[in-house]
Amino acid sequence: MKKHLALLLLTSLLVVSACQQSPQDSTVRQSQVESQIDASPPSPTFTSHSESIYTYKGQGQISLSATLPVEINLSINHQHYGTFTLTDEPFNLDIGEFSIDGDNLVNYSYKDPYKGMIHLKHNSPTISDIYTGTEFTEEELSQLDTYIYSEVEDGFPGAVLLIMKNGGEIVKNTAYGNAAIYDA
């Protein structure tokens, strides 16, 4: 108990001696604190939006526009794409340099406050046209199968190919990838 009392007295003496500093010391400390606070203005805040789009490696286009002009920072799959000023006119970008097979993360950020709306549009991936004739041969239909199977192997989730001619005659009806799971 004597040790606790001595410690309490020692602590009290330290508190009393700290409170008995000269007013000059107190003023110096106060002005130092004030100058530190004044030297660091608040940093601007940013709002960030992300959207996942599905495309293939080396492909993909997006279109951005805004109801009110705004400067944005754009990144694709965590890689900085650039800084752009958006207006109500669509701003089209090819993101193929940054895209991967499957889901791609598109992120844009801008300074607050912003009272307008930003619109992001993108096209779904497409399989290119490989047939331009008027009649199908078995070899050409086989080429279609080979092409679509290779796209499925490269990340396309699935497809159903239905080819009809002469107003209803089914030439080919085949499911690929995930779509083949439910093929009856």
Distance between CA 152 and CA 133 in Å, rounded?
Answer: 24
pLDDT of residue 129: 45
If one counts every other C-beta atom within 10 angstroms of the C-beta of residue 17, the result is 9
Q: pTM, whole model, 2 decimals?
A: 0.49
User: What are the DSSP E strand ranges found in the chain?
Assistant: 46-55, 61-66, 70-76, 79-86, 91-94, 102-111, 118-122, 158-165, 169-177
CB 117 within 8 A of CB 66: yes
Per-residue pLDDT of the chain (184 residues; tens, 9 = 90+): 444 433 333 333 333 333 444 444 444 333 333 333 344 455 678 889 999 988 888 888 999 999 999 999 999 999 999 999 999 999 999 999 999 888 899 999 999 888 889 999 987 766 554 445 567 788 888 888 898 888 888 888 888 888 887 767 788 888 888 877 765 4
Topology (CATH level 3) of domain 46-122: Jelly Rolls (2.60.120)
Distance between CA 50 and CA 74 in Å, rounded?
Answer: 10
pLDDT of residue 126: 61
Question: Domain coordinates of the chain in residue numbers?
Answer: 2-39, 46-122, 138-181
pLDDT of residue 79: 95
CB 76 within 8 A of CB 99: yes
- Tokens standing for residue 65: 């526009």
